[in-house]
Structure 1
């Protein structure tokens, strides 16, 4: 997910982060009185149409983190794997040579090779450039483990949300990084965003 406009973080009623939505969807939930409470420090003003009666333009202030009524606590403990999220988790760095590459030059590599019984799960996959992946082949992990730049780990649901949105606001970052796993490398790879409401990222959008 790569949006030029910041997104709204949705929580369930237990306060667990669940998903990202755009401002238009958040405005809909607001109008339907489905927002139960908010937890963000930022508000973005969404501008609507101009009233024929008063000549004034409507405005709606939306909080950057909202809890929705009717959203049940998630039963999923482990997020789904995608290459985009995997490469973001590892900072687009090859686990074997340590160099950084564009997405097109990276692959999903299995720490324990599939041919040796390894599974396609977060705890068994790392980012690897294509030459390193080819050189590694089906070798046992004991042959290369000590030389790896990092090992695989399972990201929390909160980290997965951070990995799938490249335009996270500062308060959303602070909220989500409270629930990172102990093995997470996210805060060593990515800096905390600094955004003010006067920033160009806080643009008024039509709805």
Structure 2
């Protein structure tokens, strides 16, 4: 009953993460509907319920626009503490931030130009673009959707596979 459930607004925007218990209460109250199940079954003395993995609110909730602060911590959260060149996951202390277009060439410190990068790949890339260095980004850098909270970001790396199609970054993955 303590598994995590992704909560979507009525418009399918991810807005929160809650426990299975809270999700089931919301479903019984008619506040939310199940979009995806996680495969578990919750049993009580009188019934069995398939555990939800993703729920969607029945009514739209307005969430004020909130800009995400550009910071090292938020870049590492967005990139799941994974080097965006070699794909290896590292502790945050072992990662650097890389300007995809180097600052010396007019690259700015923006969401669209900064990626998490291990020291080895950052040294290899140096003052070049990824193409010039013969390197390829795993996923192009993008800013967060204004509604994606820190709580959702925290669970992204270990999220249930059923969450992926509802989260902002999935469409960016190159196959």
Structural RMSD (CA): 4.3
SS of the counterpart of 1:40? strand
Q: 1:92 aligns with which of 62, 79, 82?
A: 82
Query: RCO (CA 8 Å, sep 6+): is it higher in 1 or 2?
Result: 1
Check the 8 A contact 1:77/1:156 in 2, yes or no.
Answer: no
TM-score when scaled to structure 2? Answer: 0.61
Count residues in correspondence: 164
- 2-side partners of 1:117 and 1:169: how far apart? 35
The runs of 5 or more residues in structure 1 that have no matched partner are 49-55, 189-207
TM-score when scaled to structure 1? Answer: 0.54
Check the 8 A contact 2:6/2:16 in 1, yes or no.
Answer: yes
The runs of 5 or more residues in structure 2 that have no matched partner are none
Q: 2:108 matched to which residue of 1?
A: 118
Check the 8 A contact 1:37/1:67 in 2, yes or no.
Answer: yes
Q: Which has the larger radius of gyration?
A: 1
Larger proportion of strand = 2
Change beyond 3 A, Cα 1:87–1:169: closer
Q: 2:22 matched to which residue of 1?
A: 25
Q: 2:13 matched to which residue of 1?
A: 16
Q: 2:36 aligns with which of 12, 21, 40?
A: 40
Q: 1:146 aligns with which of 113, 126, 132?
A: 132
